[in-house]
Structures are given as structure tokens and as C-alpha cells.
Amino acid sequence: MQLRWLGTAGFELRSEDGTTLLIDPFLSRPPLARPQSPLKLSDIPHADAVLVTHGHFDHAFDVPTLAGRLKAPVYASASVCRSLTHHGTLQSSLVPLSPGQWVRVGDLRIQALVAQHVHFDGALVLRTLPRLLPYLDSMHRLLTRWPAGQVLGFHIASANLRLVHFGSAGGVADTLEHLRPDVALIPAQGRSDIDQVATQMAERLQPRLVVPHHWDDFYPPLSQLIPLTPLAEALSRCLPATRLHTPRIGQWWQIF
């Protein structure tokens, strides 16, 4: 299985048999986003399916355009599917999923997982608010047009590898503890103590490999660049056998 990070919570996944999935693809980042991305929407030539964890703009904004051009089915919760139709996604390409449900795409089996959005903490909101003040109107419009809807995680299984992706750091403890995936794609954004929250997710999942994402400053001034050293240190303390891989945007790599 090969992966490339698209920035924010976005990934492109290619299986041994060439099945290609897009997860939360958001490539329309502004020029001030850091790190800069070499990718444009036109760099995505094909997908067998698009998976969307929730409806926020930084996960779903490019989905109507990509799904339309690539003629790919979109898997998301029913409420996110409804929101995507308002943004121009064809009803016929939307496949609503409930938590626990499995679907097959090519040689991959995909299960929707119950998940939650991370709860923003007061300290972070207070720190972010002053720099958002000049943009409050446009930010408010963006956030209300792209509601989260029901949040899902995804469990993706090939013949020899199991991977989980969470778009926001609110996995439900019971679900996490039963999964035991090889690879966990864990988001790091939205809380002052996000390194602890992400480490706790990893401790429950016990994966062989953790891939942190969403730590980039994908939409300044709303987002911020999250330093990954505290997460790396906490992981090596709590899960010494687990490897951490921090990918570069746009670079394919082979998992294991």
C-alpha cells in the first residue's frame, strides 16, 4: 500500500492492485498556508472512491469538484452527503454510510467508524480570536456553509494491512480499543493539549506506525502550525515499539 499526504487531513492511498482512494482531499489551500503544497487539484488524475470524515470546509470543500471530474463515488455520513448535495455533488455519486458499515472498493474493504470532532478548548479559542477579528465575517460564513455533520472515521483493510484515518481527534474510546490497526493516521489540530489527545488515541489503537496529519497551518489565520516534537516524545515514551512517520505533502511512500 502506498500513501501520499495532500496536506490538512487529506490522503491519497493506492493499494497493491491499484485501487485509489482519496480521503478528505483539500487542495485549495491559500498561498500563505505552511508548509507550501506543490499539489493542485489537476494533480489528482483518478480515484475509485472519495471518503469524507466530516463536512468542514478543510475536509469537504474540494469534494464536489473532484468527485464531479473523476466520476468517483463519495462515501460519508448521511448528513455530510446532504451538505455535499447543497454544494453541487450529484446525488447519484453519494453513498451514505452509518458507523459500523462495511463497503468494498476494488481490493479494499472500508468500514465507517463512529468518531467525534475534537472539542476546541477555551485557551486556544482565546489565543486565536484576536488574529481572526479582521476576518470574522468571512470565517463565520465559511464555517456555517460547511457544517461538520455526523463525523466518521475510516478503517481500511487490504489483504495484508489495516489502516485507520481520523479527520478530527475525537475518536470514541471503545471503538479505538478494538481496532488494532497497523497504521493510524492521527490529526493534530484544534486543542492546546493536542499532543496528549493524539497520544491517547495512539495508545488506544496500538498501531505499528503513527502518521500525524492536520498539524500544518492549512488556512491561516484560522489554523496554526503545530510543533510535532512533543507528540514524538510522548509517543516514544508511551509506545516505544510504535514508529512515527511525518510525511511531506505530495510525496508518495510505501507503507512498510
CB of 188 to Zn ion, least distance (A): 11
| Cβ proximity of 101 and 152 under 8 Å | no
Smallest distance, Zn ion to C-beta of residue 170, A:
11
CB-based contacts of 192, cutoff 8 Å, min separation 6: 121, 123, 124, 127
Cβ contacts of 235 within 8 Å, gap of 6 or more: 199, 202, 210, 242, 244
Give the shortest CB-201-to-Zn ion separation in angstroms. 15
Distance CA(225)–CA(172), nearest Å, equals 25
Secondary structure (3-state) at 163: strand
- Nearest one of 179, 231, 229 to 205, comparing CA atoms: 179
Which three three-digit cell numbers place residue 149? 455533520
Q: From the CB of 9, what's the least distance to Zn ion, in Å?
A: 6
Nearer to Zn ion, 75 or 215 (CB): 215
Contact residues for Zn ion, defined by CB under 5 A: 58
CB of 59 to Zn ion, least distance (A): 5
Q: Kindly state the smallest distance separating residue 8's Cβ from Zn ion, in Å.
A: 6
Which CB atom, from 33 or from 161, has the smaller least distance to Zn ion? 33
CB of 66 to Zn ion, least distance (A): 17
Nearest to Zn ion of 190, 207 (CB atom): 190
Q: Which of 210, 168, 162, 208 is nearest to 187 (CA)?
A: 168
Cell numbers for 69, please give them.
471530474
Nearer to Zn ion, 74 or 161 (CB): 74
- 242: enclosing H helix or E strand: none
Q: Cα-atom radius of gyration of the chain, to the nearest Å? A: 17
Which one, 12 or 58, has the nearer CB to Zn ion? 58
Query: Between 157 and 188, whose beta carbon lies closer to Zn ion?
Result: 188
- With 0-12 / 13-18 / 19 or more C-beta atoms within 10 angstroms meaning exposed / middle / buried, residue 1 is buried
Residue nearest to Zn ion (CB): 58
Cβ proximity to Zn ion, 58 vs 216, nearer residue: 58
